[in-house]
Amino acid sequence: RKEVEQDPGPFNVPEGATVAFNCTYSNSASQSFFWYRQDCRKEPKLLMSVYSSGNEDGRFTAQLNRASQYISLLIRDSKLSDSATYLCVASGGSYIPTFGRGTSLIVHP
């Protein structure tokens, strides 16, 4: 079982839709969690940190469920510009950051 798993997608949604991604992690000692966005052939860009209490930034909401060992990302009112690959990261007590393979999102008109 991979340490961090994501559904690769693609998720095809119309503009204005709400879409949610989940990411499961296997290392229960994981302490820090992040979501990154990566455009084709570009570097990952930090989207948001994921706190135990949840985190909201405009149209984006991230949640952490430690009991079930997953983090989620909710995007409301999708824009064409949200089309990208979304990567989740978990790091454990020894802080070796582990990325998922990413979930591809395509927002169409």
Partner 1 sequence: DAGVTQSPTHLIKTRGQQVTLRCSPKSGHDTVSWYQQALGQGPQFIFQYYEEEERQRGNFPDRFSGHQFPNYSSELNVNALLLGDSALYLCASSRGTTNEQYFGPGTRLTVT
Q: How far is the CB of 82 from partner 1 (least distance, A)?
A: 19
Choosing from 31, 56, 59, 79, the residue that interacts with partner 1 (CB under 8 A) is: 31
- Using the contact rule CB under 8 A, the part of the chain among 10-18, 42-50, 51-59, 67-75 near partner 1 is 42-50
Give burial (CB, 10 Å; 0-12/13-18/19+) of 101: middle
**What does the CA dihedral 82, 10, 47, 4 come to, rounded to 10 degrees?**
180
How long is the chain?
A: 109
Q: How far is the CB of 48 from partner 1 (least distance, A)?
A: 9
Binding status of residue 99 toward partner 1 by CB under 8 A: yes
